[in-house]
Amino acid sequence: MSQPISATSVTSIRELSQHAGQEVELSGWIDNKRSSGKIAFLQVRTAGGVVQAVAGRKDVSEEAWADIERVTQESTVRVRGTVKEDKRSPIGVEIQANGFEILSLTQDYPITPKEHGTAFLMEHRHLWLRSSRQRAALRVRSEVEQGIRDFFYDRQFTLIDSPILTPAACEGTSTLFETDYFGDKAYLSQSGQLYLEPAAAALGKVYCFGPTFRAEKSKTRRHLMEFWMVEPEVAFLEFEGLCALTEEFVGYLAARILDRSKEDLKVLERDTAKLEKVVPPFPRITYTQAVEILNREGNPLKWGDDFGGDEETILASQFDRPVMVTRFPASFKAFYMQPDPENPETVLGLDLLAPEGYGEIIGGSQRIHDHDLLLSRIQQHNLPVEAFQWYLDVRKYGAFPHSGFGMGIERFVAWMTGLTHLRETIPYPRMLYKIYP
Amino acid sequence: MSQPISATSVTSIRELSQHAGQEVELSGWIDNKRSSGKIAFLQVRTAGGVVQAVAGRKDVSEEAWADIERVTQESTVRVRGTVKEDKRSPIGVEIQANGFEILSLTQDYPITPKEHGTAFLMEHRHLWLRSSRQRAALRVRSEVEQGIRDFFYDRQFTLIDSPILTPAACEGTSTLFETDYFGDKAYLSQSGQLYLEPAAAALGKVYCFGPTFRAEKSKTRRHLMEFWMVEPEVAFLEFEGLCALTEEFVGYLAARILDRSKEDLKVLERDTAKLEKVVPPFPRITYTQAVEILNREGNPLKWGDDFGGDEETILASQFDRPVMVTRFPASFKAFYMQPDPENPETVLGLDLLAPEGYGEIIGGSQRIHDHDLLLSRIQQHNLPVEAFQWYLDVRKYGAFPHSGFGMGIERFVAWMTGLTHLRETIPYPRMLYKIYP
């Protein structure tokens, strides 16, 4: 097929609407095909989405019609034709084809429109990515991630890439991936927070956003071995300010996804009415109030015990927006959390629980900024003081109140997309015994 | 110090210019101090930079003046005063102080204005971050990273986070960090490219941008064990288009840094005239032409040999902009590079060499899209076919021409900032035997 001088080469579906009435040429994959023998409807996928090309038998050469007849799902093709406005199309246009060519004919594509088991699909993750739901989920993920970058960039945060290879096994090695580092032991990071705190003393408002790792022998829909986490850390931000930042952040992201990922949410059949309620202010309850709610609802949790999935679900179901639970018992929270001035048994920590059963999506706290208090906490937790010397230095030289939180991206994307299993929220999930492809 | 009702709490230096004539209060660190006994000039650092606070002895309380007299470098303080326009200031304003309080007095801060050796500074990296040059370099890094995100987002690329934990030791294990993955061996990724190619078949234009790892026993200023790499991959993009994308990308980033990182480049004493020349089109030479230039310049490199640092420096010095070297011998390039139709001994690969001795910053290629050709290359390179089955599938089901490149962020930031050693371009560098803090 020779390219006529008048055809514009289009590399993204989204450009098409700018070319209404014009002759274009584009290459892509056959997502789906219907043909009556006289007219064929080809769903062609390339960057930006899928466009329908309509080809009448009389409008194309014999050779092209033969190609249209024999083309299969996931073959690569080149289509030429005129862009026509079409109000029924999600992209507003379709292509009236006058040329068609198979670039590579696909045979026996493993994933067919019939139902496949998840194990099979996971083994073929590299091909499963091409399915409409998977594409939609990954586009939402991409939008969430850019939204996070923009949120912090617009607020003058400096991005601080925290290291993945870390020396200290701060809290036991049982859930850490270990590697040899030129004769020393190194571990894959579970959080960048400790590295952010010194950077906050340099630059005031900082964040990191990268992969984190947890070698946990658990096989649930809510766990991955490798996941991405965003963590802001802000100098001179105290607990009330942290609660406000958390709210603003989640409200911004939910609004952005509703605004910019409409088509993808439609593909995923997400009930967007539920997401439209995610507008600050969010309800805030203390841990103590949470225990009262749980007991009232028949859950026997005692003050001092941590929540599990069941407790999170009960609490979240009381509200139509995310609920912020604050001021937890120090006993089961991280050693670095600032004591609550109103009750020394509790700490200035927060968990944000998503509605609809998506569980805890954010955990944060004000950090202890007093050197001696932090030192005593490190000792009480039987942590190696030597390994924390540099972290203590942040309190020794210009101590400052500061706060931050962490959010796992996959859980957030699961909530936005309505997916029940985290494995579909990341391109190549790493799960128990599952590292291929 | 009680806070008067009229004082606005300022959390970023950049907000100050909006408050000219107003009463403000801000917290931060003492970056520097000069005092005549009657008037003190305090450089206060917090989010967004440094502001000068000027305090006359008569303008503050006796208690506040005593605090000003005894305050030391890197103490945290709270300053109250009126924002005054000041044309000499890089931020356009200073603070006429009327209140001052020490929050935390720092004693014996290890990094003083005198010269320190690099080993000492690296041991104190968590504090060294506070120095003006380090802050400037990390702010440039942050701007480069956001620039990269924006470049691809604006061009409708989908972000695909490639996995860090990978099963196959594709090209020998000698430079790979290894870890146990529930009884299997896993390796830390050196590139996301192979994982991007299947995603390009799903979404057309994709990129990844995350940490990569190289366990190389080398101790040069150009190597880190852990570094961040950005890799775009584009379906139906052929070699000429790849060269154009590479140029557009680098031109965009250089222009953005010149525009948005002016103050930081000034702190770093970067000769920006050199960066202003980084405007496409860039000169392009083939590998064969490069060998001719080298031989003419007295370098004895023979056709078929790879470049080292010396050759890169000679080639780059011929041009005032980055130079693109193309069509390398297949013999020393990666197995997946598409053969050059004009010469089967060479491949459609490119290296972009930065000027001023910063070396290769980008490497890219068109990829082999023919299944059988790729299979034969995998076999010729003695790679395990089984481990590449999923990668071959990308050619089996809807083969498509495609291209991409990779750019290491640290080298790019070194070039932009004029830093000679990569260790200052990343917050916590991981080098040979160096993993603390």
pLDDT at position B329 is 98
For position B5, what pLDDT does the model report?
A: 55
Maximal CA-CA distance, chain B: 85
Cis amide prior to A281 (ω within 30 degrees):
yes
Nearest neighbour of B433 by CB, restricted to A138, A146, A182: A182
Q: Which residue has the tokens 């200290």?
A: A168
Q: Which amino acid appears at position B360 of this protein?
A: E
Q: What is the mean pLDDT of residues A397-423?
A: 97
Closest alpha carbon to A149 in B151, B379, B146: B146
- Quote the pLDDT of residue B112: 87
CB contact under 8 A, A14 and B126: no
Give pLDDT, residue B1.
45
Number of helical H runs and strand E runs in chain A: 13, 18
What pLDDT is stored for residue A69 in this prediction? 97
| pLDDT for B336 | 97
Would you call B138 and A180 a contact, using CB atoms and an 8 Å cutoff? no
ipTM over the 0.85 cut-off: yes
Tens of pLDDT along A96-151? Answer: 999 999 999 999 999 987 889 999 999 999 999 999 999 999 999 999 999 999 99
Q: Name the pLDDT band for A1 (thresholds 50, 70, 90).
A: very low
Mean pLDDT over A65-79 rounds to 98
pLDDT tier at A420 (50, 70, 90 boundaries)?
very high
What is the domain partition of chain A in residue ranges? 8-104, 123-424
Mean pLDDT, contiguous 10-residue spans, chain B (437 residues):
68 93 97 95 95 97 97 98 94 96 97 89 97 98 98 97 87 84 94 97 98 91 94 98 98 98 97 98 98 98 96 96 98 96 97 96 98 97 92 98 98 97 97 90
Q: Which residue of chain A comes nearest to B178, CA vs CA? A: A179
Q: Which among B158, B433, B437 has CB closest to A142? A: B158
Q: Which residues of B touch A51 (CB under 8 A)?
A: none
Residue of A nearest to B106 (CA): A397
For A342-381, the pLDDT digits (tens) are 999 999 999 999 999 999 999 999 999 999 999 999 999 9
Residue B117: strand, helix, or coil:
coil
Residue B402 amino acid letter:
H
Q: Which long-range contacts (CB under 8 A, 24 or more apart) does A121-128 make?
A: A122/A423, A122/A429, A122/A434, A123/A436, A125/A427, A125/A428, A125/A429, A125/A437, A126/A437, A126/B195, A126/B198, A126/B390, A126/B391, A126/B393, A126/B394, A127/B198, A127/B393, A127/B397
Question: pLDDT value at position B118?
Answer: 92
Closest residue of B to A15, CA-based?
B156
Which residues are CB-neighbours of A278 under 8 A, at least 6 positions away?
A: A250, A251, A254, A255, A321, A322, A355
Encoded tokens for A396: 């020794």
Q: What is the residue-wise DSSP string for A195-249?
A: HHHHHHHHHSEEEEEEEEE-------TT--SEEEEEEEEEET--HHHHHHHHHHH
Pick the CATH number of A8-104 from 2.40.50.140, 1.20.80.10, 3.40.1080.10, 3.40.50.300: 2.40.50.140
pLDDT of residue B218: 84
**This prediction's pTM:** 0.97
Q: How confident is the model at residue A230 (pLDDT cuts 50, 70, 90)?
A: very high
Separation between Cα atoms, residue B27 and residue B12, nearest integer Å: 10
Which CATH superfamily is A123-424 part of? Bira Bifunctional Protein; Domain 2 (3.30.930.10)
A358: its two tokens: 């998506």
Q: What is the pLDDT of residue B170?
A: 60
